[in-house]
């Protein structure tokens, strides 16, 4: 593909410009995710009809363009052009609102909603208050942690904490016996994020207990009223640490955003139940667009 360039941190201003003008709620459309995971997948980009197109060559995924200067037929033509070089190229992250407002899209594409990659969105105030019978157990676990460890501190993540955070992450993986391609890729994405901490628009908190890490979370802005939590790790031996880091993250962000996107469950049943247990306000669907007659 002509004009296809490797995406690097030098392109963060370009990403910021387009994401500010054309915000999306799918977590894949945050600068932090685009860059940190993009270094693993060697994400590329091109400017097409004044729209920004991000391309993942590992899976031959064309992310739905950031912009509004195209028709349904233009999108089909874009995918055909990619397929001249990348035969399995497929359109992903088609916004639900675009589908509803462009009925002719189905003349060109077969649309598939993949539940495993849908994002969970929560109201931050509710995550702080934890009101109601269904959230009572989580609220009790937070209260127990606060009573048991009143000396714990909440510290902002800074670039000098990268090594200890990675050591904590690997310790978490070993002690839980967690393996798998996605998990190892996630750990690499965490490492990339921490290495580029002073360059990326990412933030995070550490729950510190007796000069040791009890948990941490990393997040960044999604839209004007939504933040996305990218990573969250905790010490499973500390009862309530999982609930506490969730609660403290919400408290940290409460005055700045209305919603928190906690990303996908990737089809893992345990993760799905954990995310559902916090009663999401809604899901951001993940649509694939497969070109017809191809």
Residue pair 91/109 in contact by the 8 Å Cβ criterion: yes
Domains of the chain: 5-118+287-291 (3.40.630.30), 119-263 (3.40.630.30)
DSSP 71: -
- Taking the chain (294 residues) in runs of 10, the rounded mean pLDDT of each run is 91 98 98 97 97 97 97 97 96 97 97 97 98 96 97 98 96 70 88 98 97 97 98 94 98 98 94 96 98 81
> What are the respective helix, strand and coil percentages of the chain, to the nearest 5?
45, 25, 30
Looking at residue 183, what is its pLDDT?
Answer: 79
Looking at residue 179, what is its pLDDT?
Answer: 62
Looking at residue 227, what is its pLDDT?
Answer: 98
Rounded (10°) angle between helices 136-148 and 241-253: 100
Among 30, 32, 56, CA closest to 44 = 56
Provide the phi-psi class of 230: left if phi over 0, else alpha when psi is between -120 and 50, else beta: alpha
Among 134, 176, 122, CA closest to 284 = 122
Q: Alpha-carbon distance 33 to 202, whole Å?
A: 10
Among 1, 2, 12, 4, CA closest to 220 = 12
User: Residues in the chain, how many?
Assistant: 294
């Amino acid at each position: 593909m002509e004009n296809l360039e490797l995406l690097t941190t030098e392109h963060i201003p370009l990403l910021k410009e387009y994401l500010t003008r054309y915000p999306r709620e799918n977590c894949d459309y945050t600068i932090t995710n685009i860059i940190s995971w993009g270094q693993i997948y060697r994400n590329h980009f091109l400017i097409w009809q004044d729209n920004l197109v991000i391309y993942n060559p590992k899976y031959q995924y064309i992310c739905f363009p950031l912009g509004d200067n195209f028709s349904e037929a233009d999108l089909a033509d874009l995918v055909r052009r990619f397929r001249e070089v990348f035969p399995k190229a497929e359109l992903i992250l088609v916004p639900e609102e675009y589908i509803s407002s462009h009925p002719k899209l189905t003349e060109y594409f077969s649309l598939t909603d993949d539940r495993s990659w849908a994002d969970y969105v929560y109201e931050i105030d509710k995550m702080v208050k934890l009101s109601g019978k269904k959230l009572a157990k989580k609220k009790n676990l937070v209260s127990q942690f606060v009573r048991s460890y009143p000396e714990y501190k909440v510290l902002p993540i800074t670039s000098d904490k990268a090594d200890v955070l990675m050591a904590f992450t690997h310790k978490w993986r070993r002690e839980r016996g967690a393996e798998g391609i996605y998990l190892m890729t996630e750990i690499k994405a965490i490492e990339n994020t921490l290495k580029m901490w002073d360059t990326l628009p990412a933030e995070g908190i550490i729950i510190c207990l007796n000069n040791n890490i009890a948990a941490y979370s990393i997040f960044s802005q999604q839209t004007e009223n939504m933040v996305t939590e990218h990573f969250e790790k905790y010490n499973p031996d500390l009862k309530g640490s999982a609930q506490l880091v969730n609660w403290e993250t919400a408290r940290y962000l409460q005055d700045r955003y209305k919603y928190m996107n906690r990303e996908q469950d990737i089809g893992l049943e345990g993760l799905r139940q954990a995310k559902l247990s916090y009663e999401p306000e809604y899901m951001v669907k993940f649509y694939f667009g497969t070109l017809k007659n191809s």
